[in-house]
Amino acid sequence: MHDPRNTELAELLIDYSCEAKSGDTLYLEVKGKETLDLAQAILRVATARGVTPFWFYSDESLIRQFVKGASEEQFKKMAEMHLELMKKSDCYIGLRGSDNPFDMADIPHEQIDKFNKFFYHPVHLEQRVKKTRWVVLRYPNPAMAQLAMQPTEAFADYYYNVCVLDYNRMSLAQDKLYALMMATDKVHIKAPGTDLTFSIKNILCRKCDGHRNIPDGEVYTAPVRNSVNGTLQYNTPSLYQGTLYENIRFVFKDGKIIEASAGAMTDKLNRILDTDEGARYIGEFSLGCNPFILHPMKDTLFDEKIAGSFHFTPGQAYEEADNGNRSSIHWDLVLIQRKDYGGGEIWFDDKLIRKDGIFTDAEMEKMFSGEFLGK
């Protein structure tokens, strides 16, 4: 029996997020057995719109069998196949619902490095991100509900309520923040354990309003690559490449992370930051502003949208907000600044623009309210 909410979500993905039209080719990547009902809905809707889809199924339990033992040559051959498929695609949907998000936890770091360098970077960061209309999303399976510490049924209800929104209205709400960020030079961020300065002068910004992520709700840019100085103490856990990191702390000098710690995971954290030169520089600065997402659930696509948060991302910069940083990683790490998470301030050109997660511009704050963005 098909869940009618999946048809509604599929229509959003095809019609709004991908802006797919008759004659387009859609690349659908499906991860996890429980995603199949939504995958079927996407294929039905795409076909009805005159879009030609091709798809493949995968999950971490399969991926690990290859990644843990593959040679550099095998990674490159795998990338060649997927790259040709991606080049033929107008649109890409990444539907991810892993049964066990920790399936990659014991893969040697050297193998993960090869995977990122020889497969993920050329296929996804260079081709998919830059040259297709793409959107990625999770699926509310039991594994995701467990990470969120919610009953599966209740979490599914929450998921659809958060994901299926009027994103045109969200886009309108982001206009003023976008204009403010475009006009800003100096940024100063304060929070417990955090005192950070950098510039975003002449770096383009982008509104995130349902075209690339579902759910959505952020406005991003990038710091001038060598301008970042100070300390940053994240307060949101991050599940990355099968490992959970908490209490990540960075010290920056002239753009580079010169110190990095994360408790028992400090060594593993530093190995990731040593992946390549760009991994110790920041590729994205973004303000989260989705009023329906308030608490972390160890899922980046949700956590980076949390109202009153920002994320500061080691690794690859996006072409639309490019500071020149290049890396095979892009790791969105989140700091929540609402009072219930310790508070904090963001200053643009010596003017306080957000305090304790609330914009000082009352009109802007109202536009990001659940009342304005609600169904």
**Does residue 44 register a pLDDT over 90?**
yes
The predicted structure's pLDDT at residue 373: 79
At residue 280, φ and ψ (nearest 5 deg) are -95, 10
| DSSP at 269 | H
Please give the DSSP secondary-structure letter assigned to residue 317.
P
pLDDT of 375 reads 59
Q: What is the pLDDT, as a whole number, of residue 1?
A: 62
> Which residues 6+ apart lie within 8 Å of 103 measured at CB?
59, 60, 61, 63, 64, 242
Residue 105's pLDDT band, with cuts at 50, 70 and 90, is: confident
Task: Tell me what pLDDT residue 369 has.
Answer: 86
The predicted structure's pLDDT at residue 239: 93
Q: Is the pLDDT assigned to residue 195 strictly greater than 90?
A: yes
- What are the pLDDT digits (tens) for 56-96? 999 999 999 999 999 999 999 999 999 999 999 999 999 99
Query: Where does the pLDDT of residue 2 fall: very low under 50, low under 70, confident under 90, or very high at 90 and above?
Result: confident
Q: What is the mean pLDDT of residues 212-240?
A: 97
pLDDT greater than 80 at residue 372: no
If you ran DSSP here, which 8-state letter would residue 115 be given?
A: I
Find residue 233's DSSP bridge partners. Answer: 249
Q: Check residues 346 and 372 and name the one with the higher pLDDT.
A: 346
Q: What is the mean pLDDT of the chain?
A: 95
pLDDT band for position 201 (cuts 50, 70, 90):
very high
Give the percent of the chain with pLDDT over 90: 91
Q: Is 101 a residue whose pLDDT tops 90?
A: no
| Residue 123, number of CB atoms within 10 A of its CB | 21
Per-residue pLDDT tens digits for 139-178? 999 999 998 999 999 999 999 999 999 999 999 999 999 9
Residue 123 has what pLDDT?
A: 96
On whether the CB atoms of residues 286 and 262 are closer than 8 A, the answer is no
Structure tokens at 130: 């830059």
Is the model's pLDDT at 199 over the cut of 70? yes
β-strand partners of 351: 348
Enter the pTM of the model: 0.89
Which pLDDT score, from 0 to 100, does residue 187 have?
Answer: 98
Q: What is the pLDDT of residue 241?
A: 87
pLDDT tens string 108-150: 989 999 999 999 999 999 999 999 999 999 999 999 999 899 9
Would you place residue 194 in the very low, low, confident or very high pLDDT band (cuts 50, 70, 90)?
very high
Query: Domains of the chain by range and CATH?
Result: 4-163 (3.40.1830.10), 167-373 (no CATH)
> For residues 180 and 100, which has the higher predicted lDDT (pLDDT)?
180
In whole angstroms, what is the distance from residue 68 CA to residue 65 CA?
Answer: 6
DSSP string, 33-61: GGGHHHHHHHHHHHHHTT-EEEEEEE-HH
Q: Is 90 exceeded by the pLDDT of residue 250?
A: yes
